[in-house]
Amino acid sequence: MQPVDIELRGRDFLNLNDFSAQEIDYLLNLADKLKQSQKKGEPHQILKGKSLAMIFHKNSTRTRVSFEVGMYQLGGQALFLGQDLQLGRGESVVDTAKVLSRYVQGIMIRTFSHQQVEQLAREADVPVINGLTDLLHPCQVMADLMTIKENKGTLSGLKMTYIGDGNNMAHSLIHGCTKMGMEIRVACPGGYEPEESIIEGVKNNEGKVIVTHDVREAAQGVDVLYTDVWASMGQEREQKERQRAFSGYQINKALLSLAKADAVVMHCLPAHRGEEITTEVIDGPRSVIFDQAENRLHVQKAVMASVM
């Protein structure tokens, strides 16, 4: 495989709303090419000799494995930097950014504060990729868009219903879906709506966002049903309170019957089976959940190859 276009070289990947629909489509197409290349056993060592620093302040399965394996397949190396990093012992974000920029060609960070990621990106001389913050999860949504496109052949004009907390997943789905001309309906209990600034920020996008408390109405006639855990990492103390609030917000066979006959079911994982989604649905014929998980690898390779 030939080296990719360099039109995104040097760009940070923090927020999908910072990218145009054309740029997102470019990355999705590249991800598909890399996926097909891998399936055929063709080498694509676009980042040979380059290194990615991976900063983890939150536990991870898919993010760590997909980035680490992705860098290996691209010919580079990934360095896992956990709690032993001096950043967790008082070293400033500024100093960390300046030092890492002397060693590596890219930084991926999975952490709590989105402001910390933005500061890291401002101070680093290499591209910074947002592996997740409490505000946004753009890499996951790139995998979601890729999976939908694989199943539906297009994105524009489709309708998705996201059921659950108006959290980082809801925020990035609002960004990604509206950028690509989709309608996204967010069905959540009162008090758990997405941040208003996120909704305000997509008003000029092609797609549409609707926030509602009526889960059955939101599921009517949609192409995609999507959910996430009721209590995200760091919210464990709220688990019982959230179980009460979200008790009617579950993707099950009855709710799925309200969507289109060919609707697909999605979940960013990890899942709490029997809470936000039933085992019958997650393992059922309309689930593309594990395709989503696989596609994290391919879209992240596309992002790394393009910005690094």
**Binding site feature residues:** 60-63, 86, 110, 137-140, 168, 228, 232-233, 268-269, 296
Clarify whether 140 is annotated catalytic: yes
Using alpha carbons, select from 33, 72, 77 the residue that is nearest to residue 302: 33
Clarify whether 292 is annotated catalytic: no
Clarify whether 296 is annotated catalytic: yes
What DSSP string describes the chain? -PPPP-TTTT--BS-GGGS-HHHHHHHHHHHHHHHHHHHTT----TTTT-EEEEEESS--SHHHHHHHHHHHHTT-EEEEE-TTSGGGGT--HHHHHHHHHHH-SEEEEE-S-HHHHHHHHHH-SS-EEEEE-SS--HHHHHHHHHHHHHHHS--TT-EEEEES--SHHHHHHHHHHHHTT-EEEEE--TT-PPPHHHHHTTTTSSSEEEEES-HHHHHTT-SEEEE--SS-TT-GGGHHHHHHHTTT--B-HHHHTTS-TT-EEEE-S---BTTTB-HHHHTSTTB-HHHHHHHHHHHHHHHHHHH-
Catalytic entry in 110, 175, 267, 298: 110
Catalytic entry in 268, 292, 298, 300: 268
**Which residues make up each annotated binding site for carbamoyl phosphate?**
60-63, 86, 110, 137-140, 268-269, 296
CB 246 within 8 A of CB 220: no
Catalytic entry in 11, 57, 140, 292: 140
Catalytic entry in 11, 57, 64, 137: 137
Clarify whether 105 is annotated catalytic: no
Catalytic entry in 228, 250, 267, 298: 228
Which positions are annotated as active-site residues? 110, 137, 140, 228, 268, 296
